[in-house]
Amino acid sequence: MRIAEQPGFLRTVAAVLAHSGDSWFWLAGLGLLWWLGTDYWKGRALTMIVAILLTALVVFVVKLVVRRRRPEGEWGKFYRSTDPHSFPSGHAVRAVMLAVVMLGLGPLWLGLLLLVWAPLVGLARVSMGVHYLSDVLAGMLLGLVVGVAVLLVV
């Protein structure tokens, strides 16, 4: 599955997908949506921002407990230097959580779009060599749990 060292179109797509789950990207976009959006979108954005921060805390605690080293590789030096632990994949947790919350809150079209996107992010993280498949699968399961928990609270 690993294509991080193989130049070409597929690697480029995987790299873009792998980064598309970055928390800073989502927080910046949702912050902009909260600032410029209608009341409907402001509410969605605020819920998602809080959910992303909650997800980060949960992932941080699990990573500190498990302390599984990332796979060897060159791609993703930023991730490797700022977070040497791979289990669970925070990107997979975040992507599935976002999909679950949006499926629950709406609009449905966005929830469905995120539901298609979420597993692609996880697979891209494995393809780019920054996670093992088990990191992603566990992250997706944790994302489902966190997403449902968020929906139960809002």
pLDDT digits (tens, 9 = 90+) for 86-143: 899 999 999 999 999 999 998 999 999 999 999 999 999 998 888 899 999 999 999 9
The reply to whether 36 falls in a domain is yes
85 is catalytic: no
* pLDDT one-digit tens code per residue, 53-99: 999 999 999 999 998 888 877 766 676 677 778 899 999 999 999 99
Number of domains in the chain: 1
Per the structure, the complete domain to which residue 138 belongs is given by: 9-153
- Tell me what pLDDT residue 82 has: 77
131 is catalytic: yes
Q: List all residues 6 or more positions away from 47 whose beta carbon is below 8 Å from its beta carbon.
A: 101, 105, 150, 154
User: In angstroms, rounded to a whole number, what is the distance separating the alpha carbons of residues 147 and 100?
Assistant: 5
Annotated catalytic residue, options 63, 85, 125, 131: 131
Annotated catalytic residue, options 63, 91, 94, 125: 91
Query: What does the block give as tokens for 66?
Result: 């498990």
- Tell me what pLDDT residue 52 has: 96
Q: Model-level pTM?
A: 0.89
The reply to whether 2 falls in a domain is no
